[in-house]
Structure 1
């Protein structure tokens, strides 16, 4: 299903066509042995004796054989002899079928993994990187390895390889260096500190370009410890590395680190322990301290944030490397595959810009950049809530900076139509979480509209404490600010404007809207937060519109606790949203548009066959005859698709906001499209993938695409378009706040406000 609206544009995508020679394919055979043979290795060796019949190219698992061509006879009989007693064995190859392209995707992906190894790329995690093209970042003891992410699949336009340039950040610090640092800082308990820092981390051994997860540290072993070699002899780790890699270990008394490798042998899960020498293992990834260092992240970005032109050049270089490498080309040729010489060019469409509506009936014409920050700060907001009774809790030493901030805030507010009265400033002697909580609790009553908390530094424990108190216990809007933010005098006006707008939203005010032609429609967004440690429950958030301009939103959360399905909580949340919609409007919506974030490809069928019917059935609980039209769209952000646009003599650039691709590189079995909604000035923009899993409305593809784009304009934390529809982004913010900080539902009186911004 394709849309028609918008200006036609020519774009390129990071997909490379794979052509299959007409007479070639993947042919499936059942292999039987008479008499039957249990040993897989003997099965393999006997079949390998007949390369003159079946060829050298095959995939065989002991019973099922795949060949790139069809044998002349439906049943092929081969004779072999067992190696131990020379008795005869009859091997029968029975033709089953020619596999469809969609059934052979795994095989083709395996072929490209072999090609990556041939090209000298190192596997790290699931993707391949080039150690020979490492880019050093010496100031921070880091280096960046460029690489590729590849995936073969069948799309509307045929069989294609999706290929994207990627990067992996590595540290030039070894595990041994880290151990020395810890020993100097904590000589008494260095072993415990060392264990905390390395267990669970991934390390790289550069002598073979492999990565390992650290599971333990053995302080009683050393490079002089011995292990059983393949031929049954005992050898020390020191001797092993000297003999096989010509590496001489300098410290023979260092402990060994252990990695548990898992795999399958004969269909059974097996695991073995690998002992590694800290001196030869390099740390990978970034520590929290490095991630929080703006200078570090900026220096890394110079290597990783590549332009569309650089990205396209990297893809063309990859194609050239594959097609010019004899061994790589031989792998493709043997299965009848040909990799085209360039990436896919196709026709997209550019939707017209959206006009923005502010207060006092002011209209700002839509711009191609999809950004309206200047108009926002010089216009009245759509609806303003006067800030009358509010307070600021801060350290006594920060009072002067607070006074300057309040003065600036009270000047900026009225220019945007927001009245702001002076606050109560409540200084505390020190920044313990106890002091903040006690001061807020003792000074808040039913008339308090807002609590502003100013922290001297970012601390998750204090943030969680005050957010849990304000949102879940007191039911009052809260705003957390860091002292360094309001000490930037040159940026204070801009900062005060943003905070004033955010506060207005948290109190129930609205900032802007776009033209929404739909009536009697409730738009919902769903996103899920998963505890990264795996110990906590999953938090799902559902945010639903309450009015036709889509400026007011009602939110509900549900937890996935033991013995309870997350879906059960979401249907209950939807019922609450429908009840609230009826209370505000006096009727139930005639149609529901639901945008579901956080669903991977493997869950699409579950979403279609399980979630959609449950949402629809829960509507019957309101009245038996209530059957609204229902649209459910899965929104995917973490995708590898990239879209480039030719910009004259400048070469490839990012497509403009509103660019849509809905054919060729889309799925064969789903109605889906890619939408670029953001304006990105640096690096390459990432489109968002929209997949319609259910549609009982009368909306055409053009209308679904247009409303999806409109919704990216309505996120009030940014005066421009965002990557996903606003209700999804609101749901993300809410789920993250509850999952990371409050761990509880908010008070009911906050649920119709954007208190989580």
Structure 2
């Protein structure tokens, strides 16, 4: 049969518009074909479109279902040439109603084993009033209005009829907290020239809760300002309730980290107590202290660049990016109105502040701000006056001072009971503040009067296995320090040929160290012979280099360096030479560490255990109810801001069934990691096969250092690399990819008869405050004596092994027992902690390929 006659004129235009609109909403129009004579007539017009829409309702896209929000009464498209009464604008309007939204099914990931415990958390439920929410409307102007300011003015003129509360940025989308009386509302407006304009407000949909999280967080920013909290960085602090530490010239400001999120049990507010430490010293005073130094400019720049400073006149924080030595407060700058004014006059006029020194150099802060042009961003430079900038945080010298840290911890280490009291006080302040209640009430929100109550589970304590088939059952504190000193190691390595380097001032300390090491060998289950004691000419780096070249020969197992002071350059030279040029175990000890005779034996015993690990030994193991599994840990080290160095990614993989031997690799990370993971995983599989004679049947990967915004990156770009490598080896091994997040504001408190306390190690919480669309759980692995314990967040991103939640939760807790630098549990699984240590050592000091002889040893402890 011949082709049907093509539509012409207005009918052709309508047909072309219909096809284009259908393609925009994802519906492909049928292609014209010659029908068979026997075929029954196909449905046309409204019936044809409705049928196609119903079919698309069932269409699957991955795990998501496409829902087309349309009804029979809404379909009035001119699919037949005879229907020509519709205007083009009416056709566009009705086709636009085919709005396609994606809905994801909530995920439940709950274990069953363990003892039930009553817990609470720092989450407060947010209630949304009935028939309230966030409703999306489209704003149309006839004729069109291009100026955003004019569009906002027109919307604001008629807000009294729309409920007064709105969110509108001058575009085409308007958000209201209530439904209007009708789906379409018309308002008559006028341009500044007097020309009349018709504004049409058209209802589109009610937004999902997950789409409104940004709005809710903006509302709580307003609530914090209503409660007189000042924002510093991402958090809010009470600038009127500071704690002074005058002996160290420090001030501590209490505050909160506030985040609204949609979790498994609905809309919750996470409220975590925070503290900000400020120094009572401004940058100008620091400059005066360093002015006597011959390398003043270099030392001053190194001291302030990258630091965060606070300007008290506006309570804002800035990161210092540079020092403008050729500028001063006497210089002038151009204001927004085009006039010129000096920094001295500006601060006097705006803040009534008199700058004392008009010749001091200015500090520079650079940041990118969003713009409405095509580029999207523009670099902005802010010049700051040093005498108005107060330093925040602690210096490395302060952190190394025990007295400073002890005095600061008296205010920053908050117990669970104190945290709960702070949460209650915050809730009471919100309820008493009429302004805060108005902000929440305008959008139908109400904060509950207490934190959320839940039931967690406590996993059983683990059994530590030592040498000579000795066992030790861990207590509730998850600590086996005393048992480690009383038992032999699982796999001791004899230390027969080793060298101790020391300066003349540490001659006696070196002799006592060597003597003690030989005596404690039997307690560890190994033989430690007396080392060769080598005095250094002096404390210069060249002396250490010459001695390493002379004594780090073949057959020497370990080199020990007793250094009089802590110097990063010397430490870096030692580690770099002993890992790249001369593959040998190395141990650096500060002389003051050996000075305390009362603790010398315990300290030296820990050093001996560390050396045993670096030689390939094993200190303790656990029972694992599986065989032929490989456990992998991944972490990334990022260099300081402003550094030209690359990030370093470290991968650690297990080599035996007791998960006590590890294969390690670290490489610089440039761009995407597609080739890097394949290379390391391939070598890990080959090494596992070399040691065990077979490939692993299951691989569990614990990936540390991944934020919420990077989860999709891991799933799309990292997980396929491991699967591709398995296919290259023609292996049927299954893979489980778990993201580990230790930097979280979530806190879990145990509820008992005495009030609130830290939960015991092994406490798991896998519901209520977990993610709505992820398989995740929180695990408390540690015991802390002061402050509040931090739970670790685990997200099972990919699992072809089909593990039960109990399996992953128990495995994660077991692996927290296997970090050999600490005789207790750590916050993250041991392979993640090993990867962190390796990436940090490589990024800070080595930055060169490590000798392959060290790949199966923990040389980075």
Which band: TM-score by shorter chain? over 0.9
* Structure 2 CA distance for partners of 1:327 and 1:485, relative to 1, 3 Å: same
**2:679 matches 1:575:** no
1:683 aligns with 787
1:73 aligns with 182
* Structure 2 CA distance for partners of 1:164 and 1:221, relative to 1, 3 Å: same
* Structure 2 CA distance for partners of 1:524 and 1:201, relative to 1, 3 Å: closer
TM superposition shift of 1:636: 0.7
1:619 aligns with 726
**2:285 matches 1:177:** yes
Greater RCO (CA < 8 Å, at least 6 residues apart): 1
**1:614-693 → structure 2 map (5 Å cutoff):** 614-622=721-729, 624=730, 626-649=731-754, 651-693=755-797
- Which shows bigger deviation, 743-752 or 480-489? 743-752
**1:251-270 → structure 2 map (5 Å cutoff):** 251-252=357-358, 254-260=360-366, 262-266=368-372, 268-270=376-378
1:96 aligns with 204
Q: Secondary structure at the match of 1:14?
A: strand
Q: Distance in 1 between matches of 2:644 and 2:334?
A: 38
TM superposition shift of 1:283: 2.0
* Structure 2 CA distance for partners of 1:501 and 1:236, relative to 1, 3 Å: closer
Q: Distance in 1 between matches of 2:314 and 2:148?
A: 29
Q: Secondary structure at the match of 1:24?
A: coil
Q: Secondary structure at the match of 1:3?
A: coil
* Structure 2 CA distance for partners of 1:532 and 1:228, relative to 1, 3 Å: closer
Q: Secondary structure at the match of 1:104?
A: helix
Q: Distance in 2 between matches of 1:714 and 1:523?
A: 12
Q: Secondary structure at the match of 1:343?
A: strand
Q: Secondary structure at the match of 2:449?
A: coil
Pick from 298, 307, 328 the counterpart of residue 201 of structure 1. 307
* Structure 2 CA distance for partners of 1:254 and 1:433, relative to 1, 3 Å: closer
TM superposition shift of 1:329: 1.1
Instruction: Give unmatched runs, 5+ long, in structure 2.
Output: 1-108
1:445 aligns with 553
* Structure 2 CA distance for partners of 1:506 and 1:324, relative to 1, 3 Å: same
Pick from 391, 399, 403 the counterpart of residue 295 of structure 1. 403
Contact 1:391 1:424 in 2 (8 A): yes
1:745 aligns with 849
Pick from 152, 155, 160 the counterpart of residue 44 of structure 1. 152
2:659 aligns with 550
1:373 aligns with 481
Q: Distance in 1 between matches of 2:295 and 2:681?
A: 53
- Which shows bigger deviation, 607-616 or 543-552? 607-616
Q: Secondary structure at the match of 1:342?
A: strand
**2:618 matches 1:510:** yes
* Structure 2 CA distance for partners of 1:9 and 1:49, relative to 1, 3 Å: same
Contact 2:702 2:737 in 1 (8 A): yes
Q: Secondary structure at the match of 2:194?
A: coil
Render the CA deviation track for 1:286-313: whole Å, top value 9, x for unaligned.
3333233232222211111111111111
1:409 aligns with 517
Render the CA deviation track for 1:52-107: whole Å, top value 9, x for unaligned.
22222111111211100111222211111223x22211111121111000111111
Render the CA deviation track for 1:521-567: whole Å, top value 9, x for unaligned.
11111111122244112221111111111111111222223xx6323
Contact 2:674 2:717 in 1 (8 A): no
2:707 aligns with 600
- Which shows bigger deviation, 90-99 or 660-669? 90-99
Contact 1:540 1:566 in 2 (8 A): no
Q: Distance in 2 between matches of 1:440 and 1:252?
A: 53
**2:602 matches 1:497:** no
Contact 2:775 2:795 in 1 (8 A): yes
1:24 aligns with 132
1:361 aligns with 469
Q: Secondary structure at the match of 1:620?
A: helix
TM superposition shift of 1:387: 0.6
Contact 1:616 1:627 in 2 (8 A): no
Q: Distance in 1 between matches of 2:768 and 2:468?
A: 45
Q: Secondary structure at the match of 2:231?
A: strand
Pick from 302, 308, 314 the counterpart of residue 416 of structure 2. 308
Contact 1:558 1:573 in 2 (8 A): no
Contact 1:198 1:214 in 2 (8 A): yes
**1:224-373 → structure 2 map (5 Å cutoff):** 237-252=343-358, 254-260=360-366, 262-266=368-372, 268-270=376-378, 272-373=380-481
Q: Distance in 2 between matches of 1:532 and 1:21?
A: 47
Q: Distance in 2 between matches of 1:228 and 1:613?
A: 53
Q: Distance in 2 between matches of 1:226 and 1:547?
A: 68
Contact 2:673 2:718 in 1 (8 A): no
TM superposition shift of 1:412: 1.8
Pick from 121, 126, 129 the counterpart of residue 13 of structure 1. 121
Q: Secondary structure at the match of 1:340?
A: strand
**2:690 matches 1:586:** no
Render the CA deviation track for 1:491-512: whole Å, top value 9, x for unaligned.
1011011011111111111111
| TM-score of the superposed pair, with normalisation by structure 1 | 0.95
TM superposition shift of 1:269: 3.0
Q: Distance in 2 between matches of 1:484 and 1:753?
A: 28
* Structure 2 CA distance for partners of 1:350 and 1:542, relative to 1, 3 Å: same
Contact 1:78 1:91 in 2 (8 A): yes
Which protein is bigger by CA-based radius of gyration? 2
Q: Distance in 1 between matches of 2:473 and 2:752?
A: 24
Q: Distance in 1 between matches of 2:502 and 2:232?
A: 47
Q: Distance in 2 between matches of 1:219 and 1:440?
A: 43
1:117 aligns with 225
TM superposition shift of 1:599: 1.1
1:734 aligns with 838
- Which shows bigger deviation, 327-336 or 66-75? 66-75
Q: Distance in 2 between matches of 1:749 and 1:236?
A: 63
* Structure 2 CA distance for partners of 1:735 and 1:248, relative to 1, 3 Å: closer
Q: Distance in 1 between matches of 2:667 and 2:852?
A: 14
Render the CA deviation track for 1:392-421: whole Å, top value 9, x for unaligned.
111122121111112122222211212100
Render the CA deviation track for 1:119-175: whole Å, top value 9, x for unaligned.
221111121111111111111211111111111110001000111001111111122
* Structure 2 CA distance for partners of 1:26 and 1:410, relative to 1, 3 Å: same
* Structure 2 CA distance for partners of 1:452 and 1:193, relative to 1, 3 Å: closer
Contact 2:118 2:752 in 1 (8 A): no
Contact 1:558 1:570 in 2 (8 A): no
Q: Secondary structure at the match of 1:178?
A: helix
Contact 1:526 1:731 in 2 (8 A): yes
* Structure 2 CA distance for partners of 1:572 and 1:251, relative to 1, 3 Å: closer
* Structure 2 CA distance for partners of 1:435 and 1:666, relative to 1, 3 Å: same
Contact 1:30 1:65 in 2 (8 A): yes
Q: Secondary structure at the match of 2:140?
A: strand
**2:629 matches 1:525:** no
TM superposition shift of 1:374: 0.4
TM superposition shift of 1:725: 0.8
